[in-house]
Amino acid sequence: MKAVITGATKGIGRAISLKLAQNGYDLILVARGEGDLKTLKDELTPYGNVVFTHSADFSVKEEVYAFLNSANINFNGVTVLVNNVGIFLPGSLLDEADETFEKQQHLNLNASYYTSKFFGKKMRSARQGHIFNICSVASKAPVKNGGSYSVTKAAMLSLNHVLRQELAPHNVKVTAFLPGSTKTSSWEGTTIPDEKFVQPEDIAETLFTILNLSKGVNVDEVLITPLDF
């Protein structure tokens, strides 16, 4: 069992990395910060898994493809891809700089497009695998003060649907997560109590449960929100 997790060192990505490592998965972890990757790798060492780390800025296409080229040489048999990398830049779509939209598009959509094509083709040939796309409640309805973020997350959900349609005949599963307010670094400094948030571990637990469902079932979407935010 081998999983690729993007945006692996914080929040949702970190929780998923820990959960899969605890359950026997070898991991390929991608994030921007080399120091954070080393810290996470050290934390996962006691589980005895093979853990490979790759530092890349996934807002830069060339760095995404540098990772994919490395994966093509060094890794075979990836069965799980978690497209988690992303960014939230608050603001009004009408008033923001173009670069605000472009950066979110590169991280929230383009990076998942490139990685899903690469690993999706391999899963299609192997006739097995599961792709998870960490979308957002903003994929279904715009969030206040999150104009461009909502646009890019809606596009990511559409990407998820297309992938599922194309890969289902080849026995490859595709699932979208649509979390509401989740206690990640995006909420750093907030005075809202932790218990008001979805926890990253909730998403990791749910993802692992989905991985262990029967062969013939696909969970299309998971909407997970705070009880009383």
Q: Smallest Cα–Cα separation from 132: which of 179, 183, 77? A: 179
> Which of the residues 153, 173, 196, 215 is marked catalytic?
153
63 vs 55: CA distance, rounded Å:
9
- Which residue in 149, 173, 196, 215 is the catalytic one? 149
Q: How far is CA 99 from CA 1, 93, 94, 178, in A?
A: 39, 11, 13, 25
Q: How far apart are CA 71 and CA 115, in angstroms?
A: 10
- Which whole-number Å values give the CA distances from 55 to 12, 44, 67, 76, 87, in the listed order? 18, 17, 8, 19, 17
Q: Put the strands of the sheet holding 130-134 in their side by side order.
A: 51-55, 26-31, 2-6, 80-83, 130-134, 173-179, 221-224
Cα(149)–Cα(151) distance, rounded to whole angstroms? 5
Q: Is 153 a catalytic residue?
A: yes
| Cα distances (Å, whole numbers) of residue 129 to 85, 164, 165, 172 | 19, 11, 14, 5
User: Cβ-count burial of 214 within 10 angstroms (0-12 exposed, 13-18 middle, 19+ buried)?
Assistant: exposed
The set of catalytic residues is 149, 153
